[in-house]
Amino acid sequence: MVFTPSRHPRVLAMRQHQLRALVQVAESGTIRAASRSLHLSQSALTKALRELEDDVGTELLVRSHKGVDFTAAGRVLLTNARLALASLERARDEIRALQGGAGAHVTAAVTPLLALDVLPRVWEAFTARQPDATLSLSEGFLADLIPRLIEGRLDFAIAIADPEDLPPELTFEPLLAVTAVPAGRVGHPLAGATHWDAMADAQWTLNLSPGSQSETLLAWLRASGLPVPHRITACTSPTLMTELMRRTDAIGYCPTRLLADPLYSNGLQAFSALSPLPPAMQAGLIRLRAMPLGTSARMLAELFVRQLGR
């Protein structure tokens, strides 16, 4: 869009429909697709965006043959628009709950580490106490959840993280020390290896997303002067990694908590003779510092904290 500054600057008066228009353009990729999603004409959507640009006094969007791109100012406003809309939606949920209406919508990300034992108990307790709440769960991988937390699209996350790597907008409450060890199929020829020299040329399958335990493993090996695996199949799916480990000679890096579960570890074994091993990482509760949890989200978070404190 081409921005023409107003000759009569006015006090910022952003309206909710303007912020929704901006967010929908980001999610749809084009003005046309966004207008369809919002059930508006393209001219009405364009007017809302121009009014928003006039309010902030700068260009927010640039049209190209590929669709719509955001300027630097547009990206800043987009992040805050998402957060503002999420905050308003949480307030509506709280008010509906107070008035005896439909339950709140809670969105949380949870590390797959807790899927086998803690999550089922938490889910049963929460759904019994909040039968009308809508609960959305996703896997808690750090690279994905940080922007979603900052933009208010997640209420909270239970995830493995180094608190020093988190942006200042987020708080981290440590809940569980997580140790991990290389592992592979039962009968793997390297299962009895005692030193990292034997592992360097092996085939590995690792989640290399920023902040993951596997990425931390590789950084630790480099810092310790130990051989670093170079034949790596990058994979972000726990299911795919597990099946590669179980059915091939690919080696993974698994939390010992998972390997202690008889269902998960069926057909797998820890390479427990290997030494040395990296220090434990922390799994904890991550949330947005500036936004308190709503009633239902706080209940769910407290259930996780209570279960992990056992």
Reading the block at residue 208, the tokens are 């290399």
| pLDDT tens series, the chain, 310 aa | 544 544 444 444 568 788 888 878 888 888 888 888 887 888 888 888 888 888 888 888 887 777 788 888 888 888 887 777 777 777 777 666 665 446 678 999 999 999 999 999 999 999 998 888 889 999 878 888 998 898 888 999 999 999 988 999 899 999 999 999 999 999 999 999 999 999 989 999 999 988 889 999 999 999 999 999 999 999 999 999 999 999 999 999 999 999 999 999 999 999 999 999 999 999 999 998 878 888 889 999 999 999 998 6
Q: How distant is the alpha carbon of residue 175 from its chain centre?
A: 18
- Whether residue 276 is preceded by a cis peptide bond, meaning omega within 30 degrees of 0, is yes
Do domains 102-177+283-308 and 180-278 share one topology? The answer is yes
Neighbours of 298 (CB within 10 A): 15
Q: Specify the DSSP class assigned to residue 202.
A: S
Contact (CB, 8 A) for 45 and 7 = no
What CATH code is assigned to 180-278?
3.40.190.10
Give domain limits for the chain. Answer: 1-101, 102-177+283-308, 180-278
Nearest to 273 by CA among 186, 181, 179, 177: 181
Between 3.50.50.60, 1.20.120.1780, 3.40.190.10, 3.40.605.10, what CATH number should domain 102-177+283-308 receive? 3.40.190.10
Nearest to 182 by CA among 219, 226, 213, 208: 213
Q: Which residues pair with 70 in a beta bridge?
A: 61
Q: Which H or E run includes 74?
A: helix 72-98
Class level of CATH domain 1-101: mainly alpha
pLDDT score recorded for residue 10: 45
Reading the block at residue 23, the tokens are 């967010």
Contact (CB, 8 A) for 157 and 149 = yes
Neighbours of 200 (CB within 10 A): 15
pLDDT score recorded for residue 107: 93
Residues shown for the chain: 310
Phi-psi region of 127 (alpha: psi -120 to 50; beta: other; left: phi over 0): alpha
